[in-house]
A and B are shown apart, each in its own frame.
Chain A
Amino acid sequence: MENEEINLNILKLFYNLKIKPSDFINIYKNKKNIEDALKYFFNREKDNPKLFNENNNKSGCAGKDFNLLMQYFYKRAVFILNIAQDQYPVLLKEIYFPPPLLFCKGEKIKETGNLKIAIVGTRNCSDYGREVASHFSKELSKMGFTIVSGMAIGVDAAAHEAAIKESGRSIGVLGTGIDIKYPYENKHLFEEIIKNGSLVTEFLPGTPPLKSNFPARNRIISGISIGVIVIEAAEKSGAIVTAKSAIRENREVFAVPGNIFSDKSKGCHSLIKSGAKLVESIEDILEELGNYIKDPAYQNSIKLEMTASDKNPQYNHFNNSLLENEYKNKKNNDCAGYRNLKNFPDDDYLKIYNCLGYKEKSIEEIINTSGLDIKKVLQIMSFFQLKNIAKEKNFNNFVKINQI
């Protein structure tokens, strides 16, 4: 059978004959062949026609003209991957209950041979959470990873945004139909992500964002990826559900620690307590992913620029000292901080620089400690902000920018 015919038959099976997808997956795993599995079900229905009643069906999908649906897909550049296809994500096939069909938009998902890693976290994240998400997402994309997340606001959006900006490679897994932009705040992400990444869902077009869809979505997020990085998650949250399904499916779980007084750190911290890897830097992540990175299947996709510790000369671009310097210079420009110290226009700048710390300090405090007047302080703060030495946080408070 052609792929399209298979897809159509599976759709009929689920939405006309009301076969449970989990039953289908069980039979498929037994038979190891999708055509056999399909035949099995159609034969069963023929023998027992009671179940086979296209017209008497309460679900809205009953009797749906799937040809029309196919046309719709074709028009909107949506395509379907079934579990038997080679392009179906390999890792996802291995999980306990993989979705038999994936509705996708954007070609990235078809590519095998690149490593996907998930970044998840709370929707209601702090500045810190957002920063961490963008940082890891940016650095990992730079190395060749594809960032997977759930297209929600907060941490998810930050991760997608950074990945799209860096490389464009990002996969968004939805809890709605492929045609629904939920949450609507992220509509720009929905438009940008399909340029060089993908949107993926197992739900039929038109499926609203039901509460029950999201745990199912989370299993795809963890299933598709080699590991899950959890950034800011409350104890009971979608991110923790994702992490748990990752543990179940034998994926790596990374957790970023946070403020011990914040509710949003409780989930991450309990993950760490129960054995998740505590992540402070990219190196922490790479350490755990050693097996994957050395896997010849993925060799081409990952550039280990960052891991100078890697002894394998094949990957070590740092043998070339010129390149090394270039890399260092690049890093210098990114976080100008210390090296600009010599270039400060006058002593007042240094005075204020010394006042600042990594804890927030208000303008009033800075004025009191430095003894300078408000005009000068504001000028210097602008200068620092412009040169990425300090930034304003919350209300009227300034902190030094961390030199990551």
Chain B
Amino acid sequence: MFFKLDSFALMGIEAIKVAVEIHISNGMPSFTIVGLPDKSINEARDRVKASIINSGYKFPMKKIIINLSPTDLRKEGSFYDLPIALTILALSGQITSELFDCSSFIGELSLDGGIDPVKGILSMSEKAAEIKKQYFFIPKENANEAGLIKDISIIGCGSLTECIEILKNKSEINKHTHKNYIYPESDSNQYRIDFSEVKGQFRAKRAMEIAVSGMHNILLIGPPGSGKSMLAERAITIMPDLNFNESIEVTKIYSLIKRRKYGLIRSRPFRNPHHTISEIGLIGGGIYPKPGEISLAHRGILFLDEFSEFSTRHSESLRQPLENKSIVITRNNVSYTFPCSFMLILAMNPCFCGYFGDENKKCKCSIREVEKYWKKLSGPILDRIDMQIKLPRLKEEHFLENKEVENSHNIKERVSNAILMQNERYKDKEINYNSEARPDYINDWINQNQGLKKITADFSKKTLMTARGISSLIKISRTIADLEGENEIAENHMIEAFQYKISTII
């Protein structure tokens, strides 16, 4: 006797279809699961048995074999409890339904017959819609998230009995369908922090505005207490809201690592991992690859505080993701791709003691120590950071002054406009932001203007900038022009951009 139901497995950020097949035969009573299951799936035997009995059904005392196909894919997680229980009940003749063929099932059972939420539901729901399933039976608590996908009817079930009731009665199924989640208007007060809380540091604030507008990576250098972390945290408050597609991308990633009861993630992520993080924690990986901090910062900000404390392996492993905006992780001959399009903010002290170049506090480091300190920042990484900003320690008069400064809301408006301009410009191209611009675009921007060319030449002569340095200078000028709403880069923009480059730090 044979029966099967459709379910899903996660492969990186994507879900793939898995068939839960069952065969019951006479013989010594046993219950086996095959098809490369992990520990949590094997333990499903006991959970399924208990919850079937506790829901008032009979568990057949026969030889039961469950196969999870495709069988060569290593599977993990507690997703398959619900489909396994349903196949057993269906094959033993306890329930029948016309819905089995056009539905797929996911859910973890508890011993009392309840259904608990699972991870990665958004990816699965997307896949279910893709393979043209009509209904998707999932844990009730996951329904908000799964419902973000429009082309499929989500049915959230609180327990096994509830699920079976719905299955039995096809005509009333629409009553139980979860209402599609409506994308809400964002409220501007979603962050409890604001840019106006940063006192002084005008240059750094302006730099931050530009960096966010063009998604330029930025390096903040300053003594302890100069407000590096404060600025970085507040960068998130001036970023434009996520649009629906971006929100889905972000929610999908977070769904992979956390059982989420809520719907769409609307605020941009801000991740600041500690420097003791493992390489896998930062980049992603593991036996069943999970997204790392760089993917969790997708569409948001990755802030590496005390960057000099991060090991060289860490910093060098960032190079490729910064370039490609995605990371490919290969484990067990399977490659998983996680998106990681983030804005990188690095913060570090100017030297070991932290006071190099400070006006009042004496630096205790020798020149050689300072040079050694800066060696940690490798050329290739510095090359990928468009903007570098030095922050001085805040002077008392600035700290105490009570002047009106711009709040995040106003800045956000300007930033949003700049990003709109970029969207318009890159409509038919594969990039989104100025910072991703390719060399031929950059040439186009300055080719017509002889004045700009001359300034560029002057700069490079004065600061011994590399070709990459010059091109990032032009990218910054493009963003400044976008902030002003100009279609062409003017000399003013270029000359301001110069302020955000330090060719030699010491």
Report the bound CA distance from A123 to B391 in whole Å. Answer: 26
Within 8 Å of chain B (Cβ to Cβ): is A374?
yes
* CB atoms of B368 and A185 under 8 A apart: yes
Q: List chain B residues, Cβ under 8 A from A360.
A: 359
Flag the segment in A90-98, A170-178, A278-286, A391-399 that touches B: A391-399
Flag the segment in A9-17, A55-63, A240-248, A379-387 that touches B: A379-387
Report the bound CA distance from A362 to B222 in whole Å. Answer: 14
Within 8 Å of chain B (Cβ to Cβ): is A378?
yes
Within 8 Å of chain B (Cβ to Cβ): is A367?
yes
Within 8 Å of chain A (Cβ to Cβ): is B62?
no
Report the bound CA distance from A397 to B458 in whole Å. Answer: 22
Within 8 Å of chain B (Cβ to Cβ): is A363?
yes
Within 8 Å of chain A (Cβ to Cβ): is B390?
yes
* CB atoms of B367 and A364 under 8 A apart: no
Distance to closest chain A CB from B46 (angstroms): 64
* CB atoms of B358 and A375 under 8 A apart: no
Closest B residue to A393 using CB positions = B357
Q: List chain A residues, Cβ under 8 A from B495.
A: 379, 382-383, 386
Flag the segment in B112-120, B181-189, B200-208 that touches A: B200-208
* CB atoms of A394 and B496 under 8 A apart: no
Closest B residue to A364 using CB positions = B200
Within 8 Å of chain B (Cβ to Cβ): is A124?
yes
Q: List chain A residues, Cβ under 8 A from B499.
A: 378, 381-382
* CB atoms of A379 and B492 under 8 A apart: yes
Within 8 Å of chain A (Cβ to Cβ): is B459?
yes
Contacts A360-B359, A383-B495, A386-B459 hold; do A367 and B202 have CB atoms under 8 A apart? Answer: yes
Q: List chain B residues, Cβ under 8 A from A123.
A: 366-368
Q: List chain B residues, Cβ under 8 A from A255.
A: none
* CB atoms of A386 and B368 under 8 A apart: no
Interface residues of A in 233-254 (CB under 8 A from B): none
Within 8 Å of chain A (Cβ to Cβ): is B398?
yes
Within 8 Å of chain A (Cβ to Cβ): is B371?
yes
Within 8 Å of chain A (Cβ to Cβ): is B392?
yes
Closest B residue to A363 using CB positions = B203
* CB atoms of B202 and A395 under 8 A apart: no
Contact residues of B: prevailing secondary structure: helix
Contacts A386-B458, A395-B392 hold; do A185 and B202 have CB atoms under 8 A apart? Answer: no
* CB atoms of B395 and A362 under 8 A apart: yes
Contacts A382-B495, A382-B499, A386-B495 hold; do A362 and B392 have CB atoms under 8 A apart? Answer: yes
* CB atoms of A374 and B392 under 8 A apart: no
Contacts A395-B358, A395-B390 hold; do A183 and B222 have CB atoms under 8 A apart? Answer: no
* CB atoms of B498 and A375 under 8 A apart: no
Report the bound CA distance from A395 to B349 in whole Å. Answer: 12
Q: List chain A residues, Cβ under 8 A from B223.
A: 395
Within 8 Å of chain A (Cβ to Cβ): is B462?
yes
- Within 8 Å by CB of B367, from A154, A367, A385, lies A154
Report the bound CA distance from A394 to B368 in whole Å. Answer: 17
Contacts A367-B202, A378-B203, A378-B206 hold; do A397 and B359 have CB atoms under 8 A apart? Answer: yes
Distance to closest chain B CB from A316 (angstroms): 35
* CB atoms of B371 and A185 under 8 A apart: yes
Closest A residue to B202 using CB positions = A374
**Contact digits for A353-388, partner B, Cβ 8 Å, 1 yes 0 no:** 000000010111001000000110011011101100
Q: List chain B residues, Cβ under 8 A from A379.
A: 492, 495-496
Report the bound CA distance from A364 to B226 in whole Å. Answer: 14
Q: List chain B residues, Cβ under 8 A from A375.
A: 206, 496
Interface size class of B (residues with CB under 8 A): 20 to 34
Q: List chain A residues, Cβ under 8 A from B367.
A: 123-125, 153-154
Closest A residue to B461 using CB positions = A386
Report the bound CA distance from A124 to B367 in whole Å. Answer: 6
Interface residues of A in 86-138 (CB under 8 A from B): 123-125
Distance to closest chain A CB from B352 (angstroms): 14
* CB atoms of B496 and A364 under 8 A apart: no
* CB atoms of A396 and B391 under 8 A apart: yes
Q: List chain A residues, Cβ under 8 A from B398.
A: 364
Closest A residue to B363 using CB positions = A124
* CB atoms of A364 and B368 under 8 A apart: no
Distance to closest chain B CB from A353 (angstroms): 16
Contacts A360-B359, A364-B200, A386-B459 hold; do A396 and B496 have CB atoms under 8 A apart? Answer: no
Contacts A386-B459, A396-B391 hold; do A183 and B368 have CB atoms under 8 A apart? Answer: yes
Contacts A381-B499, A386-B458 hold; do A363 and B391 have CB atoms under 8 A apart? Answer: no
* CB atoms of A363 and B202 under 8 A apart: yes
Distance to closest chain B CB from A276 (angstroms): 25
Q: List chain B residues, Cβ under 8 A from A185.
A: 368, 371
Report the bound CA distance from A394 to B495 in whole Å. Answer: 21
Report the bound CA distance from A367 to B492 in whole Å. Answer: 18
Closest A residue to B398 using CB positions = A364
Distance to closest chain A CB from B503 (angstroms): 12
Q: List chain B residues, Cβ under 8 A from A382.
A: 495-496, 498-499
Distance to closest chain A CB from B15 (angstroms): 48
Distance to closest chain B CB from A382 (angstroms): 4
* CB atoms of A364 and B359 under 8 A apart: no
* CB atoms of A394 and B206 under 8 A apart: no
Distance to closest chain A CB from B69 (angstroms): 62
Report the bound CA distance from A382 to B202 in whole Å. Answer: 16
Contacts A381-B499, A382-B496 hold; do A364 and B202 have CB atoms under 8 A apart? Answer: yes
Of B203, B205, B358, most A-chain CB atoms within 10 Å:
B203
**Contact digits for B445-474, partner A, Cβ 8 Å, 1 yes 0 no:** 000000000010011001000000000000
Report the bound CA distance from A383 to B492 in whole Å. Answer: 9
* CB atoms of B496 and A378 under 8 A apart: yes
Distance to closest chain B CB from A135 (angstroms): 18
**Contact digits for A281-317, partner B, Cβ 8 Å, 1 yes 0 no:** 0000000000000000000000000000000000000
Interface residues of B in 456-506 (CB under 8 A from A): 458-459, 462, 492, 495-496, 498-499
Q: List chain B residues, Cβ under 8 A from A124.
A: 366-367
Q: List chain B residues, Cβ under 8 A from A125.
A: 367
Distance to closest chain A CB from B31 (angstroms): 69
Q: List chain A residues, Cβ under 8 A from B368.
A: 123, 153, 183, 185
Report the bound CA distance from A397 to B292 in whole Å. Answer: 39
Distance to closest chain B CB from A54 (angstroms): 41
Interface residues of B in 393-422 (CB under 8 A from A): 393, 395, 398
Q: List chain B residues, Cβ under 8 A from A367.
A: 202
A-B contact pairs, 8 of them (CB 8 A): A123-B368, A367-B202, A374-B206, A386-B462, A394-B358, A394-B359, A395-B222, A397-B392
What 3 pairs between A and B have smallest CB-CB spacing? A395-B392, A394-B357, A382-B498
Q: Which residues of A contact B (CB under 8 A)?
A: 123-125, 153-154, 183, 185, 360, 362-364, 367, 374-375, 378-379, 381-383, 385-386, 394-397
